[in-house]
Amino acid sequence: MSTATEKDRRSLAEQAYHIICDWLVTLQIRPGSPINDEQVANELGLGRTPVREALKRLESDRLVVAYPRRGTFATEVHITDLGHISEVRQQLEPLAAASAARRMTRSDRADLEALLAELDSDASNDVRELIGLDMRVHRAIYAAAHNPYLEDTLIQYDNLATRIWCLFVDRLPGLAGHVGEHGALLRAVVDGDANMAADLAAGHVAGFESAIRKII
């Protein structure tokens, strides 16, 4: 296989990964649902090979599970997942926020300030838009921490947490307020206040878990 062909294949697999991941996280593919690689490939206009590679990667992300002779399924969501995910995020989200406050570049600062302005001006009540904004804020902070291992880990756990959030979002009050909490966190990062950023990140994770537990 030529280098160019290999790069094209990887690019298509990456494209498939991000689209299917979004479907899984936002519950367009519901927990426990079967995933037919041929059907997904047809829907995306891609071959089965990049879709299969994407699904293999999503299995390592704990978003899908493959069973011999049965097929591939979106993983179920269990309430014990919430505690396990929060336990990890309680340690790593403050680390990422503090690191971002210390290490952000001029480009990172511009991205964070743009998100801060978007939070200040956003009046949307659209659930999908708010969840998308929440995810973009988290990922901008992870990127600004400039630790690729930390970033990859937190993206995985944020995806799993967001999936739980989407499962209960119709029963959770104040979605816009929850997303709006990021304003203070972003401001602390932009101001370079590592301790405040870490405290706000820890409080956000704790608040998320508490809100979910109140309704289950």
- CATH code (residue 202): 1.20.120.530
- Phi and psi dihedrals of 70, rounded to 5? -110, -35
Same domain, 70 and 139: no
Last residue of a domain, one of 74, 97, 121: 74
Same domain, 67 and 95: no
Residue 166 CB partners (closer than 8 Å, separation 6+):
25, 26, 27, 131
Last residue of a domain, one of 55, 74, 93: 74
Mapped onto helix, strand or coil, the DSSP state of residue 72 is strand
Same domain, 192 and 117: yes
Same domain, 88 and 27: no
How far, in Å, CA of 49 to CA of 38, rounded? 10
Same domain, 67 and 97: no
Same domain, 158 and 204: yes
Same domain, 95 and 48: no
Task: Tell me the CA distances in angstroms from 29 to 19, 105, 143, 157, 196, one per residue in order.
Answer: 11, 37, 27, 18, 37
- The pLDDT of residue 127 is 76
Same domain, 40 and 117: no
Name the residue among 125, 124, 85 with its Cα closest to residue 205.
85
Question: Rounded to the nearest 5 degrees, what angle is found at the Cα of 131, between the Cα atoms of 130 and 132?
Answer: 90
Single pTM value for the model: 0.88
Residue 67, strand partner residues = 71
Q: What is the CATH number of the domain that holds 40?
A: 1.10.10.10
**Domain with 189 in it:** 79-214
Domains in the chain, number: 2
All residue ranges of the chain with pLDDT < 50 are 1-2, 4
Name the residue among 25, 6, 9 with its Cα closest to residue 167.
25
Last residue of a domain, one of 28, 48, 74: 74
How far, in Å, CA of 100 to CA of 109, rounded? 9
Same domain, 91 and 61: no
Same domain, 101 and 51: no
Same domain, 18 and 124: no
Residue 72 CB partners (closer than 8 Å, separation 6+):
34, 35, 37, 55, 59, 64, 65, 66
Same domain, 174 and 113: yes
- The pLDDT of residue 184 is 93
pLDDT tens column, 42-90? 999 999 999 999 999 999 999 999 999 899 999 999 888 999 999 999 9
